[in-house]
Structure formats: C-alpha cells, structure tokens
Amino acid sequence: MLRPGDAAPALQVQPVFGTQIRLPPIQGQGATLLLLVRRLGCPFAKESLALAQEWFSEFDRLGVTVVAITQSGIELARDFVPRHQLLFPLATDPEGSVRERYEIEHVGMEKALMGALAARGPHGVLNAVLAHRWLPGTDVQNRPHGQLPAEFLVSREGELRYVHYAESISDMPDMEALLACATEGSEGC
C-alpha cells in the first residue's frame, strides 16, 4: 500500500468532459485530490461524489484540483456528470489500471456488502440504496464488483500527502482531514 511521503504513481486520465489530467501535476499547478470510487450505480459511490461536490468550493479556493475516477464505463459517466452537475472532472477506469497503480483492493460482492453492513448496519445500507435508487445488478456489466474506495492528496511536487484506503464500500472521504492537509503549512497529514 502507498503511504504519505511516497511519490504519486504517474497517471494520465482523460475526463469524460475536459482536458487530460496528469499526476504528478505539471510544474506550477497546485495539489490534486484524487478520489477513486466504485461504479456509478453503487449508492456509496454516488454519496462520495455528492460529498465531494459539497466541499468542492473549499478545495477550489485553495487551488486544489479535484478529480474523481470511477470503474464505470464512459457511456454511463457521460450521462452521470451533467445529471448530477459535477463541478470537477470525472474519468473512467473500467479496466482497473489506476486501481492497480494505486494498490487499491479488489473485492467481491459478498465482502463488499458485509463490510457495508458492519459499518452502517442494515438500515444505513437500505437508506443509501433507497436514496440513490440502486438495485443489485445495476451497472455491473458482467464484471467483478470491484474496488474499495480510496482518496489521495498529491502535492504540487508529486508527493502523496494524504492516503486513505477504505475498509468498506460505505466508507466516505474525510473531507475535513483532506482540507486540513491541503492547507499550506498544515502538519500531521
């Protein structure tokens, strides 16, 4: 697993809309917050993206580029971005190459659901499913169920300042901790 202080793995992604994004950032660019989410049909992925949307202006004010990468295919992502009015780039990684570079665990459906049940309880999982109108089998496309979420804050020098690998599909990004870490001169990221 990657740790704070490690060099960010090199990455070039093409968002659904917009220009290509590189990590480490091109010299002169600010830090990058990289959110790796599950498939867009997953209620917890939708919840993570909604949370990032709520906090977007705070990161933007600090000059931090927010980028989300999903396991979903390009067609679904092209529909998702305008429907949910995302203010930040969303890229797709259906083959899992970003997941592999960033050493993110791949889990089956049983482990994914058991982790969510343990973290949120049956009512929490049901509420997330109902809130995002998700049904089992949606957006699966005959692929394994995928990755656990993860968040990385990459400094302008290309160093990982913040690393979080989720333990459950229902883990949400700690936006306060990420924002604190993104603030220049912050300690203890």
Q: Cα torsion at 176, 66, 72, 93 (round to 10°)?
A: -120
Instruction: Give one DSSP letter per residue of 50-70, joined into a string.
Output: HHHHHHHHHHHHTTPEEEEEE
List beta partners, residue 34: 67, 152
- Identify the pLDDT of residue 118: 62
Question: CB–CB of 16/174 below 8 Å?
Answer: no
Instruction: Give CA–CA dist 22/120, Å, rounded.
Output: 35
- Identify the pLDDT of residue 143: 45
Distances (CA, A) of 21 to 48, 61, 110: 21, 19, 34
Q: Would you write out the chain's pLDDT as a tens digit for each of its 189 residues?
A: 999 999 999 998 999 998 888 887 766 688 999 999 988 988 889 999 999 999 999 999 999 999 999 999 999 999 999 999 999 999 999 888 999 999 987 655 555 555 555 665 666 555 555 444 444 444 444 444 568 899 999 998 899 999 999 988 888 899 999 999 998 656 557
Q: How many CB atoms lie within 10 A of CB 31?
A: 22
- Identify the pLDDT of residue 23: 84
Closest CA to 163 of 116, 102, 107: 102
Reported pTM? 0.80
Instruction: Give CA–CA dist 176/139, Å, rounded.
Output: 30
Integer Rg of the chain from CA: 16
Question: CB–CB of 80/88 below 8 Å?
Answer: no
DSSP 168: S
